[in-house]
Amino acid sequence: MSTATRYRWITRRKGILGGQPIIRGTRLPVRAIIASYKQGMDIDEILEGYPIPPAALHEAFAYYYDHQEEIEELLRPIDPEELARELGMRLTPEGFFVKDGGIAAK
């Protein structure tokens, strides 16, 4: 019999980062911690960069290993062409997202 793992420091809030997993009491996403580690920061450097308790940092890693596919998807680089299609827009050669003949964003 398996049971759901509860995390003391990890939560999701609809209005914060689209419901991505974050460190409780902050807007710091788990993906940012994992990205920092993958870019070569060690645990002490991450703790220096983010004002969170060490337990929260270690729990972010536990969450990552329990939900690796989800976090890896959040870390995946966004292809501008794919994003334009998802938004129902097109990407101009200059790199602008266009909808209905107007410039939406760059």
Cβ atoms of residues 26 and 10 within 8 Å: no
Tens of pLDDT, residues 59-96 = 999 999 999 999 999 999 888 888 788 778 888 888 88
Cβ atoms of residues 98 and 88 within 8 Å: no
Judged against a pLDDT cut of 70, whether residue 106 lies above it is answered with no
Of residues 80 and 32, the one with the higher pLDDT is 32
Whole-number Å distance between alpha carbons of 25 and 53: 11
- pLDDT for 100 equals 57
> Going along the chain, which residue ranges are E strands?
10-11, 22-23, 90-91, 97-99, 102-105
* pTM given for the model: 0.72
- pLDDT for 98 equals 85
- Token digits for 92? 């101009």
Of residues 27 and 97, the one with the higher pLDDT is 27
Burial class (CB in 10 A: 0-12, 13-18, 19+), 35: middle
Residues 11-15: contacts with CB under 8 Å, at least 24 apart: none
Judged against a pLDDT cut of 50, whether residue 1 lies above it is answered with no
- 2 pLDDT band, cuts 50/70/90, is very low
Q: In the predicted model, what is the mean pLDDT of residues 20-30?
A: 95
* Domains located in the chain, CATH noted: 1-75 (1.10.10.10), 79-106 (no CATH)
